[in-house]
Amino acid sequence: MKARVLAVIVLVGSLVMSVSGLLTDEACPQDVQVKQDFSLADYAGRWYEMKRYEQFYEKDLDCVVAEYQPTGKNAISVKNGAFSLANNTKVVADGTAVLSYPDEEQLQGKLSVAFFGAKPDRSNYWVLDTDYTNYAVVFSCEPFFKDPSKNVLGFWIFSRTPTYPTDEAAVKRIDELVKKYGDSSKFEVPNQSDERCPRSY
Ligand X SMILES: *[C@@H]1O[C@H](CO)[C@@H](O)[C@H](O)[C@H]1NC(C)=O
CB closer to ligand X out of 92 and 98: 92
Site for ligand X in 169-198 (CB under 6 A): 191, 193, 195-196
Cα separations in angstroms, 201 against 13, 38, 106, 126, 167:
20, 26, 34, 24, 26
Among 6, 11, 44, 178, binds ligand X (CB under 6 A): 11
CB closer to ligand X out of 41 and 86: 86
3-state secondary structure string across 45-84: EEEEEEEEECCCCCCCEEEEEEEEEEEECCEEEEEEEEEE
Q: Which residues pair with 138 in a beta bridge?
A: 127, 156
- Cβ of residue 101: shortest distance to ligand X, in angstroms? 33
Site for ligand X in 83-112 (CB under 6 A): 84, 86-87, 89, 91
Q: Which positions lie near ligand X, rule CB under 6 A?
A: 9, 11, 58, 60-61, 84, 86-87, 89, 91, 191, 193, 195-196
